[in-house]
Amino acid sequence: MADPHGFLKNDRADAKKRPTTERVEDWREVYLDLEPEVREKQVRTQAGRCMDCGIPFCHSGSAGCPLGNLIPEWNDLVRRGDWELASDRLHATNNFPEFTGRLCPAPCEAACVLAITPDAGGAVAIKRVEQAIADVSWEQGLVHASQSTVSSGKKVAVVGSGPAGLAAAQQLTRAGHHVTVFERDDRLGGLLRYGIPEFKMEKKVLDRRLAQLRKEGTKFVTGVEVGVDLTVDQLRAKFDAVVLAVGALRGRDDTTTPGRELAGVHLAMDHLVPANRAVEGDGPSPLSAEGKHVVIIGGGDTGADCYGTAVREGAASVLQLDQYPMPPSQRDDSRSPWPVWPWILRTYAAHEEAGERKFAVAVERFIGDDDGHVRQIALRKVRVEKDAEGRRAVVPMSEEVEVLPADMVLLAIGFEGVEHMRLLDDLDITLTRRGTISCGSDWETTAPGVFVCGDAHRGASLVVWAIAEGRSVANAVDRFLTGSSDLPSPVVPN
């Protein structure tokens, strides 16, 4: 039973970050390392703010946690100091809470009753509690390899080793199937490895989880592009089912702004991947921002990742632009009400460190030098409207054009679905109008025995959705292979 007065005694307190001057000098996670006793005291206080609502909106539903995390249950266990049971209850619904605790924008917090109750001190710091449970679980040896005692004799190939693929693989291995995860890159993890900067999640967090999956029996193959190095005929001959977890990495380009063709204008991932490789020890990034005036177009997660990366690389200046107005959380201290908050423009840790943001502006043209390299951008104030057909329209608001230095421009304006790959052609996979992989209500694609999950199905989305879809597709594959399944299926295809 939760303390019904906990939120009256204590306000929400987020985890403290290291000083900005310190953290821009390294790639480590931005949060302060607390002594275990201090962390325990703080997190137990925060968990104690949970009211254990009769209807916990945080836990599920259209705006809460897609995984159905048992939030009030583990909040109360943490409040009482029972970390072992809290770890058990957290892992019951979430394969990788250390990923979501660090990377998820926490729709559960936006859905928390305390977030929408005036003068309640703010939403319960669910994400902070989740990360603490996950970290304590690893530190105290509470995370074990869970080896299946049965074998179905069935073989499953999972293509892609991001969070969706890993969740599907872990669930299916634990159900007794023989699972091989194929990753075309040289290291495992997909976006978690080469898309997410170290300052948001250190790769040791990923590596320890991969070690657990290996111990449980999941096999991994890197440097193999399925469809090319392993043909579809070979794939079909070797495996009884296939899960496509190939992500949605086709970056949206700017095809209309004059000057896009200039050298120095890149898609965001072209900057992030080599930067993350450099941190892994692969040598200097060929697209380092060092000494450059960097302009990032797009105000979302990927833009913020470029922002923090460029600052750490030693950019001369960093400017992030967005066509939308400044978010309410920056204009004043109020919390935007559920359910809008996690999906509007947010302020990220990187924005506290250096650089500048401009809102309600659009680039009118990129201006180059005689060598064809971008050197400036021309900006205009804009307003985003919907036209008569409901389509998004960007309307200029001023005659005035502002010209600013820019010798590296990063387009972080979203993703347009799965990349073109021979695998999908050879499997005869049908795509949706959004460029994602089409599937039925059982997650099966237009290719029999081939299933899809994560961003490849949903489009670029949150890590929590990737894990939820990975768990759900595992249930579907298990049923396909054996006729029934006890595996959980927290979400349905959209």
Residues that bind ligand SF4 (CB under 6 A): 50-53, 56-58, 71-72, 75, 112-114, 124, 126
Between residues 112 and 168, which has the closer beta carbon with respect to ligand SF4?
A: 112
CA–chain centroid gap for 176, Å, is 28
Q: Which DSSP helix (H) or strand (E) runs through 387?
A: none
Q: How far apart are CA 33 and CA 17, in angstroms?
A: 9
Shortest CB 84 distance to ligand SF4, Å: 21
Q: CA angle 32-338-54, nearest 5°?
A: 90
Shortest CB 439 distance to ligand SF4, Å: 31
| Contacting residues for 91 by C-beta, under 8 A, at least 6 apart | 97, 137, 143
Shortest CB 12 distance to ligand SF4, Å: 11
Between residues 104 and 267, which has the closer beta carbon with respect to ligand SF4?
A: 104
Shortest CB 112 distance to ligand SF4, Å: 3
Between residues 63 and 474, which has the closer beta carbon with respect to ligand SF4?
A: 63
Between residues 109 and 135, which has the closer beta carbon with respect to ligand SF4?
A: 109
Torsion 105-110-113-118 (CA) sign: positive
Q: How far apart are CA 342 and CA 195, in angstroms?
A: 20
Between residues 52 and 280, which has the closer beta carbon with respect to ligand SF4?
A: 52
b/e code 31-67 from CB counts within 10 Å (16+ = b): beeeeeeebbebbbbbbbbbbbeeebbbbbeebbbbb
Shortest CB 73 distance to ligand SF4, Å: 9
Between residues 115 and 243, which has the closer beta carbon with respect to ligand SF4?
A: 115
Q: Give 360-412 as a DSSP string.
A: SEEEEEEEE-TTSBEEEEEEEEEEEEE-TTS-EEEEE--S--EEEE-SEEEE-
Between residues 79 and 312, which has the closer beta carbon with respect to ligand SF4?
A: 79
Between residues 115 and 427, which has the closer beta carbon with respect to ligand SF4?
A: 115
Between residues 5 and 215, which has the closer beta carbon with respect to ligand SF4?
A: 5
Shortest CB 115 distance to ligand SF4, Å: 8
Between residues 71 and 103, which has the closer beta carbon with respect to ligand SF4?
A: 71
Shortest CB 53 distance to ligand SF4, Å: 3
Do residues 124 and 109 lie in contact, with contact meaning Cβ atoms separated by under 8 Å?
yes
Shortest CB 407 distance to ligand SF4, Å: 46
| Contacting residues for 316 by C-beta, under 8 A, at least 6 apart | 291, 292, 293, 294
Do residues 319 and 407 lie in contact, with contact meaning Cβ atoms separated by under 8 Å?
no
Determine what percent of the chain falls in helix, strand and coil, rounding each to the nearest 5.
Answer: 35, 15, 50
Shortest CB 82 distance to ligand SF4, Å: 17
Greatest distance between any 2 Cα atoms in the chain: 71
Place of tokens 């926490």: 106
Would you say how long the chain is, in residues? Answer: 494
Nearest CA to 268 out of 460, 104, 27, 452 is that of 460
Shortest CB 337 distance to ligand SF4, Å: 14
Q: How far apart are CA 301 and CA 196, in angstroms?
A: 10
Shortest CB 472 distance to ligand SF4, Å: 23
Other CB atoms within 10 Å distance of the CB of residue 494: 12
Q: How far apart are CA 194 and CA 217, in angstroms?
A: 25
Q: How far apart are CA 253 and CA 272, in angstroms?
A: 16
Between residues 124 and 158, which has the closer beta carbon with respect to ligand SF4?
A: 124
